[in-house]
Structure 1
Amino acid sequence: MSALVNVPIAPQAESLFAQGLEWHRQGLLEQALAAYEQALQLQPGYLDVLHHIGILAYQAGDYASAEQFLHAAIEVDGSVSALHSNLGNVLKATGRHEAALESYAHALDLDQANVDAWYNCGNTLQALRRFDAALACYDRALALQADDAQAWNNRAAVLQELRRHDEALQSYGMALQHQPGNAEAHWNRGLLHLQHGRFAEGWRGYEWRWQVATLSVSRQRREFPQPLWLGREDLAGKTILLHAEQGLGDTLQFCRYVDMVAARGARVILEVPPTLLGLMRTLAGPAKVVARGAALPLFDYHCPLMSLPLAFDSTLATVPAPAGYLRADAGKAAAWDALLGPRSKLRVGVAWRGSQAHKDDDRRSIDFAVFASVLSPACEFVSLQDRHRPEDVPLLAASTVREYGQRLADFSDTAALCAAVDLVLTVDTSIAHLAGALGKPAWILLPANADWRWLLERADSPWYPSARLVRQQPGETWAAVLARVRTGLDAMASSAKP
């Protein structure tokens, strides 16, 4: 403990700190910082001021300054549990999870009743996917503060990961009992319902996505003066804008509803990402397809694509699942046939990586070094990816996979290449949805805890009749999954021989 702890606080410095603290509580961060800095000038080593400047810097995203001030505060008095807990938050925010856990452990050594330390330790362990340990931390936090809705929500998410789904549902219920407007708990509970095929509850929960601040979709919400349509108003003679949201795969999956909207008598304007523009023009239903960012024609209503299942009250039994609702361009498909040449083997289109921006990409994507084990000599393999990660490039070049990424300018090109193969083998990325939307036979490789849209356990999909779901079992490596797939490919190739 520093001798500075025992130094009397000057009344003026104490007053400035109190004023800064009030401004801080009101969210007036610039004023708070100014008051804190003045207090620190009058009283160097003022522990509470150093601590709160560190907190303020953390809240502002200035993690370097936050770490500096929290360390300075710890040098003054390292026996304050909250200092170590807040330092742990900074370390976690900068990706130093193990160091964060050490700080939380230090905080808890000093004060076992530090509920924030238990909670944030749980968050860090959850990020590291140490789910059993994370659950224990959340339970300790809730034993101290049973009305913490966010802790109940996070506990539920961990229980989902542990496949304790009924308990997870109960925990989401507890979160909403303590905070009925907790958007994240509504959203997560909705995803759990969807994963179990309880679509009526699930689609209602899915609408909370717009209010979850941590979701990018909530920050990208489109605001229009025209009213939102969710199935109630008569559309006869009206024009409606249906606009894509979230990922390319989501657009490919949910554009199936466009024709149903048109059947209500509406003139449908469909807005999609530019890379999907050409492909979406093969979709039945829209009067006009426009690229996001282009000028929009006049319209009477609007609806995000992923709200359409709610608008149509889709259940597991009524999901619209046409065999193929998008088509490859015939000319482009013929060009690919000519480039690839005559088939001498089963021709398999492959995709082993998704976008690194996806929050669960490390689960769903497979290193090519591992994926290459599936490359049976009984088959011919063609890459369906338009780009590759640096570590995959030399291995791909040395493999038997035919690679044409530079020719895939947009999804109409990829769709045409899909049409030129016999089977698509892909991880859970937009290629899976493209193959399904085209009605192309597809084997989709799913991680043990797969996305909600693939439901649980089943090997088929209500969304895509042509798809077969190949699920990784808990604790199973991708190498083991791919060994099973290779056996299946060899059997298919053998049966396909004349």
Structure 2
Amino acid sequence: MTMTSYSSAFRPYSAAFSARVLVGWALMAGLLDGLSRGRERRGAAGVEHRGLRASGEPATADLAQGAPAKMPADPFPPEVDTASLMEAAAAMHRQGQFGPASGLYSEVLRRDPSHAEAYHQLGLVAMQVRQPEKAAELFALALGAGPPTAAMYANFGEALMALGRRFEAVGEYTRAIEMQPDLAEAYGRKGDAELALGRVADARLSFEQALARKPGLASAHLGLGGALSAEGRFDAALAAFQAAAALNPSSLAAHFNRGNVLRALGRVDEAIASYDAAIALNPEFAIGHHNRAFCLLQAGRLAEGFAEYEWRAKCPTFEDPRYGLPNRWTGAEDLAGKRLFIFPELFLGDVIQFSRYATMAAARGAKVTLGAPKALHGLLRGLTGEIDLVDEGATPDFDLQAPLMSLPHAFGTTLENLPGVARYISADPARVAKWRERIGPEGLKIGVVWQGSTQPYALPLARSFPLSMLARVGAIPLVRLISLQKVNGLDQLESLPAGMTVETLGDDFDPGPDMFMDTAAAMEACDFVITPDTSTAHLAGALGVRTLVALPYVADWRWLMGRTDSPWYPYMWLYRQTERGVWDGVFAEIENRLWAELA
């Protein structure tokens, strides 16, 4: 899972007018988008309202929970001036009596349709009862009525943020800052908007400006940590999140993001402690459990980790309705003679790695049906045992069912009993013969892959390496580098270092809809495969091909920590960066390994 940022739910601004209660809107990002809205804002649930009219005819609002206040046509004698009405409205507003308060603000506007502060306060009520679109209209009317204030601009920015109009929100926060340069919160929220827009450097500067004005602003430390994380400056980000947690120990966001950064630094035990702190604040915080599970798995605590990973079904983006199917196989039920449906999760590499559990279920007597992307069916027909395949979205009849990634938990997987079989998928024999003949027997044949997915989720993982890193390996006498790369990264073949040669396998190499069929066969025709952490690593491991995997400084959980072997794949060896982003040492070790092979 990629690192994500989780911002606190409400951020109050201070302002001069006694009734001003600006409630900041959450800025959520990535997998966490919308997660807190149903949980951290539970106190506002159930508020009913029929809306506000903003065009010179404000409603006597039905904004409070329960029945609206019943207002006479003209409940106040003329001698009760608008200032007194505003003060009375402010008192009700502070007490959360939104209906009566909005009624009084509306009375002010009935008397004075150009009263900017009444529009402003009605906008705040609309924000508090979750009507950001109406709030934006009211804040615009307040600014139009004038004279504008910094708070009006900042609050307009809040409404725009709630509507996802972040670019416009930056403009409103900027106007607030121009009017009131010491408004630290506006700098912070401007940073939130810039960060959401991907303007990371601008965001960092905004957070720094906020903290220069108000060093104790926890939300700005939180935002700064997010910007520094996006820049890969994890040590500095950790300091920012620690400051946020110290200033606001009840901030779930600070503890969670601190855990994410500690995980990125490889400090897994400390990351677990931070996730524990976040979960203590909200035991139902599913994404916290999810990330904690990955740390437990990375630490080799597989039984705990796979149990904790069951929380994923409650996380955003894990939206497959089949998580709610009845008759879940938990490992306790007898499989003999039962129809077990396994539906797929995550990505191609996960399907390849964990399809071994389908063969284990078949060995227990289950009639297994495995869902998988259609493009993998040709490959997965080579699974050991009798496995029926259906398309990834299908749901056949079943007696028992399980998500693919729940099988390790159901089988009680630990490091001691992990099913690290030497080979559980076989390539098509006819294709193997074809590619053995095409490749030929000469030399030490090394199939190479260098580029993994270029999807947004994958890029921050920094798993791919430049093809040129294999130049010294290719210079070893008798070594032949044979490209198994598909699609992404092929352009690097056109700019190889002088003297470097990489053989390609032609246009008929995996050209059709079936993925990996030729790749698997070509792997079996090679002596080694060198690959980053991508689906081809799992394919080579499942085939039992000798595989050298180049791993980043902090690798995915399945490669555990500090190990040079993989319990999942007996014929796999792991080579890890010792410095973040630096591959030289990795390929020096791989070169030494191959020299030893030829000795």
TM over 0.5: yes
Counterpart check, 1:385 vs 2:385: no
Task: Name which of 504, 508, 518 aligns with 1:403.
Answer: 504
- Seen in structure 2, the aligned counterparts of structure 1 residues 44 and 387 have a Cα distance that, compared at 3 Å, is farther
In structure 2, what residue type is equivalent to 1:40?
Answer: L
Query: Per the alignment, in what secondary structure is the counterpart of residue 501 of structure 2?
Result: coil
How many Å separate the matches in 2 of 1:69 and 1:95?
Answer: 18
Please state how far the C-alpha of 1:414 moved relative to its aligned partner.
1.1
TM-superposed CA distance for 1:150, in Å, is: 2.0
Normalising by structure 2, we get a TM-score of: 0.76
* 8 Å CA contact retained: 1:241, 1:269: yes
Are the structure 2 counterparts of residues 362 and 144 from structure 1 closer, same or farther at C-alpha, using a change threshold of 3 Å? closer
Tell me what 2:177 maps to: 74
- SS class of match (1:290): strand
| 1:60-459 correspondence to structure 2 within 5 Å | 60-213=163-316, 216=317, 218-220=318-320, 222-223=322-323, 225-293=325-393, 295-340=394-439, 342-357=440-455, 358-360=457-459, 363-378=462-477, 379-389=479-489, 391-395=491-495, 399-404=500-505, 406=507, 407-409=509-511, 410-459=515-564
Answer yes or no: is the 8 Å Cα contact 2:191–2:203 preserved in 1: yes
Deviations 1:24-50 (A, max 9, x none): 234333333333333333336343332
Alignment partners' CA distance in 2, 1:204 and 1:225: 19
Q: Is the 8 A contact 1:47 1:73 kept in 2?
A: yes
Given that 1:258 and 1:286 are in contact with CA atoms closer than 8 Å, whether structure 2 keeps it comes out as no
Distance in 1 separating the partners of 2:297 and 2:506: 35
**CA pair 197-349 structure 1, distance change in 2 beyond 3 A:** same
List runs of 5+ in structure 1 lacking aligned partners: none
Paired with 1:67 and 1:483, the residues of 2 have a C-alpha distance of 48
Q: Does 1:51 align with 2:149?
A: no
SS of match in other structure, 2:566: coil
Shift of 1:353: 1.1
Give a deviation string over 1:192-222, Cα, whole Å, max 9, x none. 1111111121012212222333xx4x24564
Give the residue type in structure 2 aligned to 1:422. Answer: D
Residue type of the partner of 2:452? G
Contact 2:463 2:552 in 1 (8 A): yes
Alpha-carbon distance between aligned partners in 1 of 2:417 and 2:373, rounded to the nearest angstrom:
28
The percent of aligned pairs where both chains have the same amino acid is 38
Aligned-pair CA distance for 1:151: 0.8
Asked if structure 1 preserves the Cα contact closer than 8 Å seen for 2:468 and 2:497, the reply is no
Distance 1:221 1:125 in 2: 36
Name the CA distance, whole Å, in 1 between partners of 2:133 and 2:415: 52
Residue 377 of structure 1 and its aligned partner are, at CA, apart by 4.1
Alpha-carbon shift at residue 289 of structure 1 (Å) = 0.6
In the alignment, the residues of structure 1 paired with residue 471 and residue 220 of structure 2 have an alpha-carbon distance, to the nearest angstrom, of 44
Give, in angstroms, the shift of residue 15 of structure 1. 3.3
Deviations 1:127-183 (A, max 9, x none): 222122112111211121111122112112222333333332322222222222222
1:485 to 578, 581, 590: 590
Provide, for residues 328-361 of structure 1, a one-character-per-residue CA deviation record: whole Å limited to 9, x for no partner: 0001111111222x32210000111110124355
Q: Which amino acid in structure 1 is aligned with residue 589 of structure 2?
A: R
Q: Is the 8 A contact 2:184 2:209 kept in 1?
A: yes
Q: C-alpha displacement at 1:184, in angstroms?
A: 2.2
Q: Distance in 1 between matches of 2:525 and 2:190?
A: 55
Shift of 1:257: 0.3
Superposed displacement of residue 468, structure 1 = 0.7
Residue identity in the other structure for 2:501: T
Change (3 A) 1:102 1:405: farther
Cα distance between partner residues in 1 of 2:427 and 2:326 = 34
Cα root mean square deviation, aligned: 2.5
Q: 1:57 and 1:392, CA in 2 relative to 1: closer, same or farther beyond 3 A?
A: farther
Q: Is the 8 A contact 2:299 2:561 kept in 1?
A: yes
**Distance (Å, rounded) in 1 between the aligned partners of 2:285 and 2:557:** 20
Find the residue that maps to 1:386 and give its secondary structure. coil
Cα distance between partner residues in 2 of 1:235 and 1:16: 66
**Structure 1 runs of 4+ with >4 Å offset:** 8-11, 396-399
Contact 1:426 1:443 (8 Å CA) reproduced? yes
Letter in 1 for 2:465: I
Per mean C-alpha deviation after superposition, the further-off stretch among 279-288 and 226-235 is 226-235
1:75-112 C-alpha deviation (Å, 9 max, x unpaired): 22222111100111122222222221111111011111
Specify the alignment match of 2:41 in structure 1: none
Q: Rate the CA distance shift 1:334–1:310 in 2: closer, same or farther, 3 A.
A: same
| Residues 362/146 of structure 1: CA separation in 2 closer, same or farther (3 Å cut) | closer
CA distance in 2, matches of 1:476, 1:62: 35
Distance in 2, Cα, partners of 1:59 & 1:227: 40
Aligned to 1:328, the other structure's residue is in SS state coil
Q: Whole-Å Cα distance in 2 between the matches of residues 361 and 490 of structure 1?
A: 33
Mark the structure with the bigger radius of gyration: 2
Larger mean Cα displacement after TM superposition, 152-161 or 37-46: 37-46
Following the alignment from structure 1 to structure 2, what is the Cα–Cα distance between the partners of residues 127 and 220?
29
How has the CA–CA distance of structure 1 residues 62 and 242 changed in structure 2, closer, same or farther, with 3 Å as cutoff? same
Q: CA deviation at 1:397?
A: 10
| Counterparts of 1:371 and 1:402, CA distance in 2 | 13
Unmatched segments (≥5 aa) in structure 2:
1-15, 18-82, 87-104, 110-115
Amino acid at match of 2:297: L
Task: Determine if contact 2:359/2:387 at 8 Å carries over to the other structure.
Answer: no
Please give the secondary structure, in 1, of the residue aligned with 2:355: helix
Q: For residue 454 of structure 2, give the secondary structure of its aligned residue in structure 1.
A: coil
Q: Report the TM-score when normalising by structure 1.
A: 0.90
Provide the rounded CA distance (Å) in 2 between the counterparts of 1:383 and 1:90.
43
Q: Secondary structure at the match of 1:364?
A: coil
